[in-house]
């Protein structure tokens, strides 16, 4: 099966065109964020403030990149376990995030949010952080610099290889695997 080329930001139409199991080569801008950044972003939303650094249709990559080597925009940049962000993902999707990239299963609350907000959860290959980093063309911190590797970074990626793990209709590769 040939990979689908997809460019961010993710519109509802783009998300709805994807099916669980589709291979995707994602290009454009994605944002890294892990546990502590998710906690802060959710607190910001609870306070009634906007996340000005995360535009509508954004895709968040659950990663905390290693420092860059000379001549590279970023160090190893592999996905972290997505379930740790499950408590925060629905609020971020309600605020406009449409895509998430990580590894592992998601809770029912996230699957429900994906269906409600017509989003998508992409799986990236765990253990391949050095290879995935080669797809990053530029990186810059856009929020929470004090969190170091867990700061929110804006990455420009070119053909980041992903698999649609949960589509906008709630079809879930992890559930298929269990059956």
Catalytic residue numbers, as ranges: 38
The DSSP 8-state label assigned to residue 11 in this structure reads P
Surface-to-core class of residue 71, CB atoms within 10 Å of its CB (0-12 exposed, 13-18 middle, 19+ buried):
exposed
Instruction: Answer yes or no: are the C-beta atoms of 36 and 150 closer than 8 Å.
Output: yes
* H or E, element range at 138: strand 136-143
Sign of CA dihedral 39, 31, 118, 171: negative
The DSSP 8-state label assigned to residue 160 in this structure reads E
Give CA–CA dist 144/36, Å, rounded.
9
Instruction: Answer yes or no: are the C-beta atoms of 36 and 161 closer than 8 Å.
Output: no
Token pair recorded at residue 87: 């408590």
């Amino acid at each position: 099966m040939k990979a689908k080329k997809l460019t961010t930001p993710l519109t509802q139409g783009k998300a709805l065109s994807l099916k669980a199991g589709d291979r995707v080569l994602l290009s454009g801008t994605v944002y890294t964020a892990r546990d502590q950044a998710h906690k802060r972003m959710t607190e910001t939303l609870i306070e009634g403030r906007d996340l000005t650094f995360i535009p509508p249709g954004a895709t968040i990559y659950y990663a905390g990149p290693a420092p860059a080597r000379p001549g590279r925009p970023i160090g190893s940049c592999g996905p972290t376990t997505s379930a740790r962000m499950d408590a925060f993902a629905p609020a971020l999707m309600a605020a406009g995030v449409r895509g998430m990239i990580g590894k592992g299963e998601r809770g029912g609350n996230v699957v429900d949010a994906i269906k409600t907000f017509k989003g998508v959860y992409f799986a990236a290959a765990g253990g391949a952080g050095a290879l995935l980093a080669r797809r990053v063309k530029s990186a810059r911190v856009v929020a929470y610099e004090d969190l170091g590797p867990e700061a929110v970074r804006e990455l420009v990626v070119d053909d980041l290889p992903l698999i649609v793990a949960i589509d906008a209709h709630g079809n879930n590769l992890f559930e298929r695997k269990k059956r």
